[in-house]
Amino acid sequence: MIIKGGTTITADGPRPADVIVEESTITAVTEPGQATGAGPIIDATGLWVLPGAVDAHTHFGMPLGSGVSSLGWQESSAAALLGGTTTIIDFANPTVGEPLPEAVSKWRGMADGVILCDYGLHVTVTDVSGDRLAEIPALVEQGLPTFKGFLAYKGRLMLSLVEMKRLMEAVHQAGAMLLVHAEDGEMNAAAERVLLDTGRTAPCWHPLAHPDESEVKAVAEILDLATVTGCPLTIVHMSLGQSLELLKKTRNTQGRDGKLFGEVCLHHLFADAGLYESGHEAALAAICSPPLRTEGNGDELLSGLVAGHLDLLSTDHCEFPLTVKSAAAGGGFPRVPNGCGGVAERMVVSHSLAVVTGKMDPARWIETCCHRPAELMGLASRKGQMAPGFDADIVLFDPLAEYRWDPLGSSDRAGSLWAGLPVTGRVRDVWLRGRQVVAGGKLTGDQPGGEFLPRHL
C-alpha cells in the first residue's frame, strides 16, 4: 500500500511525504512522488498522515464503585480507534491479597479477544506485604515494566510513605518505572468527612474533597522519595501549575532529569472547575480525581507540556454512563464512580485547542501524543513514529473537516464533557498493523483484534 500526497509530521514539523506499507509494517517514507511498489494507492491529498496515537493511561474495563467503566474493553477500544489512538496502556488491578501475576492473567483475560486496539498493562500495587514485591522482577521480564502506586484513596488503594519507599526500591531494582497518583489520601479523607458531616453531598462538592494542597503535598513527597531511592517516576495526571513547578525544580536541581516524568490529561488541560457549578449533569460528568481545577491551571500545564517540562498527554479514560453516575449520586458524591472519557476526543480536542490556536506546534503535538508515550513506556521500536520498521499504525487526519461529536453514536456518554468546545478536525481513516480499521470515520468491521504488547524499558 502507498499513501500518497499527504503531509507527515516529523520532529522538524510537517512535511509532504509518501508512505509505503508492506504487510503490517511501514517500509519507507519518501519524498512526494518517489514511492514505488505494488498494492493499493491511497490518496491523502490535503490530509495529515500521522502515526497511530499512543495513550499511556486508560481504564477500559474498570470495576469501580457502583458500576463498571461504561464502555468496556470493546467499546472503549472502538472509541480509541475512531479517535486515532491505536495503542493504549491500561492497568491490571489486583484485589486484596491477590498475587500480581494472577491479576495480570485476569486482566489480560478480560481484554484478549475483545479489545480492538493494541494494548499493554501497567501493574497496580496496593500492598507491599507478602510476596508482592518479590513478584515484580518476573513481571518486568514478561514485558510489564511499569507499576502504579497511590498516595490517594485512604483505606482502599493508598500506600503510606514508608510502603511507597519500599515499592520504589523494588521497582528501581527490577529496572522498572513507577507511576504514582499523587494526592494525599489523609488530607482528602479529612476534607470529605467535613463535607459529609455538614450535609454537603451533592456532586458539586466533589472538588472540595480534593484540595490543591493535597496534590502539592503528595507531589513534593513523591519527588523526595524518587530522589532518595533513584527510582524512575512518572507522576500521572498532574493537575496544578504548582505541581508542575515542583517537578521542574526537582528535575533541575537534583540532577534527576531523564528519570522524572510528568503526565497531564486532556481534561485538566481543556476543562475546568466551572463545570461543577454548571448543573447536576455537567458536575457528574466532571467527577474525576484529581478533580478539574480552577481556570488558569490548564494554561500553565499546557505551557509546561509545550516547553517539555511535562512529557505525556494522556486521557485517564475511565468513562461511566451518565445514568450510572446519576444513580450513584443519590448516596452522595463519594459514591459516584470517578472518571472522564477522552480517548475518542484526545487528538481532535488537543489539535483544536492547542495546535490550531498556535500554542503548540504540530511536531510537539505528535511527540506528546504518539512518540513520547511509546518511548517512555517501552514501545520505542514499534509504536508512535512514522518511520521504516515501525508498525503500520497510521491515521489520516483531516484538519479542516467538521468534527462529529460522539463517534460511537451513544446518547449516554459522559464524554459529553467535551461537547460545545470549538473543535474542528476529523480522524478519517485508521490502519492498525496494516489493516484498515476505520474508513471515512466509521469502523470497517475488519478489526484484526488488539494484541497484547510486551514492553521493555
Q: Which residues contact 287 (CB under 8 A, 6 or more apart)?
A: 203, 206, 325, 333, 336, 337, 338, 339
CB of 241 to Zn ion, least distance (A): 21
CB of 355 to Zn ion, least distance (A): 25
Of the pair 55, 393, the CB lying nearest Zn ion is at 55
Of the pair 316, 398, the CB lying nearest Zn ion is at 316
CB of 104 to Zn ion, least distance (A): 17
Q: Which residues pair with 394 in a beta bridge?
A: 51, 431
Query: Within positions 323 to 382, which residues make up the interface with Zn ion, using CB under 5 A?
Result: none
Query: What is the DSSP secondary-structure string of 64-109?
Result: ETTEE-TTHHHHHHHHHHHTTEEEEEEEE-PPTT--HHHHHHHHHH
CB of 59 to Zn ion, least distance (A): 6
CB of 448 to Zn ion, least distance (A): 27
Of the pair 316, 406, the CB lying nearest Zn ion is at 316
CB of 198 to Zn ion, least distance (A): 29
The verdict on whether omega for the bond into residue 290 sits within 30 degrees of 0, i.e. cis, is yes
Of the pair 272, 316, the CB lying nearest Zn ion is at 316
Tell me how crowded residue 318 is: count the other CB atoms within 10 A of its CB.
27
Select the span of 17-25, 102-110, 149-157, 313-321 touching Zn ion (CB under 5 A). Answer: 313-321
From the number of C-beta atoms within 10 Å of its C-beta (0-12, 13-18, 19+), residue 166 rates as: middle
Of the pair 192, 316, the CB lying nearest Zn ion is at 316
Distance CA 261, CA 10 (A): 22
Residue nearest to Zn ion (CB): 316
x/- track of binding to Zn ion for residues 373-392 (CB under 5 A): --------------------
Distance CA 116, CA 133 (A): 32
Q: Taking the CA atoms of 92, 96, 100 and 106 in sequence, report the sign of the dihedral they define.
A: negative
CB of 213 to Zn ion, least distance (A): 21
Select the span of 314-322, 343-351, 377-385, 392-400 touching Zn ion (CB under 5 A). Answer: 314-322
Is 316 a binding residue for Zn ion by CB under 5 A? The answer is yes
Of the pair 90, 272, the CB lying nearest Zn ion is at 90
Distance CA 6, CA 394 (A): 12
What the block records as the C-alpha cell of 143 is 514485558
Of the pair 183, 393, the CB lying nearest Zn ion is at 183
Contact 52, 40 (CB under 8 A): no
CB of 310 to Zn ion, least distance (A): 16
Is 215 a binding residue for Zn ion by CB under 5 A? The answer is no
* Residue (of 55, 62, 148, 69) closest to 107 by Cα position: 62
Select the span of 60-68, 153-161, 266-274, 311-319 touching Zn ion (CB under 5 A). Answer: 311-319
Binding site for Zn ion (CB under 5 A): 316
